[in-house]
Structure 1
Amino acid sequence: MLRSLEAQRDLVLDALRVYLGTGLFFRGLALLFTEKGLQQLLGTAEPSLGLAGLSVYVATAHLVGGALLAVGLYTRLAALVQLPVLGGAVSLVHWQDGLLSANQSLEFSALVLFLLLLVCTFGSGRWSLDAKWRRPPVPVASGSHR
């Protein structure tokens, strides 16, 4: 079974990319359409200009970046845009909860951060729009053959 998975490495990496992108996209939707959105994550009820700007960045990064990851378009850039969001989630938002808390937010955010680093490193995979568009064009035969 392990040899079979090893032979399907591209499929596994693409499945991971699609799953990660879809999850981030839906997380962006949840941030936009829940009543408190990002304020609930940050633990503050005081709306401010900085919080509004941060929530726009986070929601946009998750929505657009997640969609791009899911289809494999500008994959490394889409993952790179997510890194500050997840880095902030790990270090600023969930760090005080510590490991093995009841909601496991630190562990999950750290996992997503790690997976995004893998996507940044290894790219989009064989079954992505990036791979489809970077394939060399079919050579055109010179001269006419009648």
Structure 2
Amino acid sequence: MKKMKDMIDWIEKHRDWCFDLMRIYLGIGLLVKGIYFLWQPDYVASLVMESGNYSAWNTLLVHYVAMGHIAGGLLMAIGMITRIGAAIQLPILFGAVFLVHLKEGLFSKDQSLEFSALVLFLVCLITIYGSGTLSVDSYLDKKKVNSI
């Protein structure tokens, strides 16, 4: 019984780690997705073409999506200027949800709308909450306080 209580106490003491681990995982996932988009630019272009919003800006859009996922994902994963890293993702994910996947509807076989909406929701939370204790920002804040 004591071991169970000790475990619950440890979980309560480190509750914020759960959000940090989610932020790190999501950041790495977006970073990998950005690298994939750089290797497969035709995939992003085909998504834009399928949405019916083709213009000369598509090339710029494909590069923004890839670089936004890479830069924002890296910043989110390491927890450095996390809110900015998450904010970089917001226009990309709004576009993914409302311009690309919304026409597929819910319950499609690949569930792209549901997944994109979930990622958008989590990135909104990270934009509001910011980085936690497992982050470069937290480390630098502690270092700054200790040096004063």
Query: TM-score under structure 2 normalisation?
Result: 0.85
Task: Pick which of 31-40 and 99-108 moved more.
Answer: 31-40
Which letter does structure 2 place at the counterpart of 1:65?
Answer: G
Q: Which residue number corresponds to residue 21 of structure 1?
A: 27
Q: 1:88 to 1:3 in 2, by over 3 A?
A: farther
Percent identity, aligned pairs only, is 42
1:144 aligned partner: none
Superposed CA offset, 1:71-128 (max 9, x none): 1111000001100100110000000000111010000000000000111111111010
Asked if the contact 1:68/1:74 (under 8 Å) is kept, the reply is yes
Q: For the structure 1 residues 90 and 6, does the alpha-carbon distance in structure 2 shift closer, same or farther, using more than 3 Å as the test? A: farther
**Farther-moved stretch of structure 1 (120-129 vs 29-38):** 29-38
**Structure 2: unaligned runs, 5 residues or longer:** 1-6
Q: Which residue of 2 aligns with 1:97?
A: 104
Give the conservation status (yes or no) of the 8 Å contact 2:48–2:54.
no
- For residues 78-117 of structure 1, the aligned pairs below 5 Å read 78-117=85-124
Q: Of residues 7, 11, 18 in structure 2, which corresponds to 1:12?
A: 18
Q: 1:37 aligns with which of 38, 43, 46?
A: 43
Aligned pair partner of 1:121 in 104, 117, 128: 128
Equivalent pair of 1:30/1:37 in contact (CA under 8 Å): no
Corresponding residue SS for 1:125: coil
Secondary structure in 1 matching 2:57: helix
Distance 2:94 2:74 in 1: 20
Count of residue correspondences: 140
State the AA in 1 paired with 2:93.
Answer: L
Matched residues in 1 for 2:69 and 2:9: separation? 35
Indicate the structure with greater helix content: 2
Aligned Cα root-mean-square deviation (Å):
2.2
* 2-structure distance, mates of 1:93, 1:78: 22
Deviation at 1:4, TM superposition (A): 5.1
Cα shift readout 1:35-78 (whole Å, capped 9, x = no counterpart): 61311222459985300111111111101110111111110000
